[in-house]
Chain A
């Protein structure tokens, strides 16, 4: 798996999202929370869309996801991935959605609503980011 010619753009780290990628490097899934009204938001943003507060902190997600939708990518291919590549959109129980690649599950096993775990793995450019895998234990 060569990263030399990947078309994946390098992460764009800004003051708005730095906390999230720093947490991911440590293997935990952060969710931004408005400290005024406690609304969670993802992807990160500087301001709460519900109460417009700029004050926020983070909570750690349970990382127990349910599959909302997915695609199996065949073409075009990028050097950063193995194909066919399965990518999922999942619901987290905290009420936010997340996109990540799905590894270790055959495409014909995928069904909306199925349980997946959010784990962490190295992605293009060496970034440690979420990956969706089969739940480790029945829950």
Chain B
């Protein structure tokens, strides 16, 4: 199984977003429609040409509602990937497979919500947690003891990582500082022109020790959409294609949502390793050949763990890799140049895919001076994971 069947065959031809705010003042449905229209406009593709939607769960806007509101006459492909932000990049894989097999020609990916002004994601379990099913049964083993939010559930991993490799809270804080530095230069970012220091991070209140407030991403209102078509078609459109060089999903051994605690090394992310090896095989690239990365940063420790699982540095060495400046705009692997979800907005990773496209187009507000031919974009962890590699055409 080479998995190279769709590598390079499909591309992201358009990106579009609403503003990222704390109170959008309009419905989630409207946000979805607005960002889809913006992405189609960016691509130069008409509404009636859309024939597919690829989404991931915890999306509140049904594809048929968006299709009906926009007047899209027919859909031939629609799918949803489970596990929320872990699946953030998987819809791009779905779209690429649909386009490369001829099942659909124009597949739109969107994420739109009022997650700050509406139901707050970080406040406690989501509404579906209260429906008794095998899907939610895993909560029996964590929720009754007080582990109710993702930050609390990830704290065990972060503490064990610190104990094992000597990482500190300030090492996690490096990610926050870098993200806010990038966001400060991005007018779309909620934290535009509001950088922070390590001291700010260290004095931010403890949420779930060792995670501090500034280790946690924001809660945002907003929408982000992407348009996937064949690379051949994309070449005739108004923007340079961001070619989908690789796209993968992954589940590791004894996987449980947010709480794979029976694994011998809880601070490792084997599901990320499953994705990484597929990406390198599909794209023919090695980690050192990637020009930039957009890593899912709901919580800072997961950025360190991902850097290691993807092979950008050795296990336990991420803190030094960051301290050495490799993730800066002029570094070896510029990371989260939009400011990440810590700084720009938390659109469950889809805004990160848009930044990957901008980096390939050469249009990030923090565009590196070097040539950017390949960018890794990842979904969330520690849940079933997904990621893509975007590349320039040619």
Contact = CB atoms under 8 A, between A and B. Distances in A.
Contact of A101 (B133, B137, B146, B157): B146
Interface stretch (B23-31, B201-209, B315-323): B201-209
A74 B209 contact: yes
A49 B254 contact: yes
Contact of B148 (A7, A100, A112): A7
Contacts of B155: 71, 73
A17 B208 CA distance: 29
B269 to A, nearest CB: 15
Nearest to A95: B262
B266 A12 contact: no
B261 A97 contact: yes
Chain B: number of interface residues, binned into ranges: 35 or more
Interface stretch (A25-33, A52-60, A121-129): A121-129
Contacts, number: 119
A4 interface: no
A71 B137 contact: no
A42 B262 CA distance: 8
Contacts of B156: 68-71, 89
Among all A-B residue pairs, the 3 with the closest Cβ atoms: A71-B155, A7-B124, A72-B209
Interface string A61-77: 00000001111111110
Interface string B252-264: 0010100101100
A87 B145 contact: yes
Contacts of B137: 12, 14, 16-17
A78 B147 contact: no
A16 B163 CA distance: 35
Contacts of B254: 49
A78 B144 CA distance: 11
A69 B260 CA distance: 13
Given A12-B136, A68-B160, A97-B262, A124 B144 contact: yes
Interface string A106-135: 010000100000000001100101100000
Interface residues of A, number: 42
Contacts of B130: 9-10
Interface in B91-128: 122-125
A113 B48 CA distance: 62
Given A73-B208, A89-B261, A112-B163, A9 B142 contact: no
B160 A74 contact: no
Given A9-B130, A69-B159, A43 B141 contact: yes
Nearest to A90: B261
A95 B360 CA distance: 48
Contacts of B143: 8-9
Contacts of B152: 71, 73, 87
Contact of A74 (B122, B206, B261): B206
B149 A12 contact: no
Given A72-B206, A89-B261, A97-B261, A81 B159 contact: no
B223 to A, nearest CB: 26
A97 B261 CA distance: 7
8 contacts: A10-B130, A14-B132, A43-B140, A74-B209, A87-B147, A99-B147, A124-B144, A129-B144
Given A7-B124, A12-B136, A89-B156, A99 B142 contact: yes
Contacts of A74: 205-209
Nearest to B254: A49
A75 B205 contact: yes
B134 interface: yes
Contact of A9 (B125, B206, B208): B125
Interface centre among B129, B134, B142, B148 (most CB of A within 10 A): B148
A72 B261 contact: no
A103 to B, nearest CB: 11
Nearest to B139: A9
Contact of A76 (B124, B147, B157): B124
Given A42-B262, A69-B159, A12 B205 contact: no
A71 B159 contact: yes
A71 B212 CA distance: 12
B139 A12 contact: yes
B280 interface: no
B77 interface: no
Contacts of B205: 74-75
B146 A87 contact: yes
Given A7-B148, A84-B209, 16 more contacts: A7-B123, A12-B140, A14-B134, A16-B134, A43-B141, A72-B206, A72-B208, A76-B122, A76-B123, A76-B124, A81-B146, A87-B147, A96-B262, A99-B142, A99-B259, A130-B145
A13 B141 CA distance: 12
A112 B160 CA distance: 9
A85 interface: yes
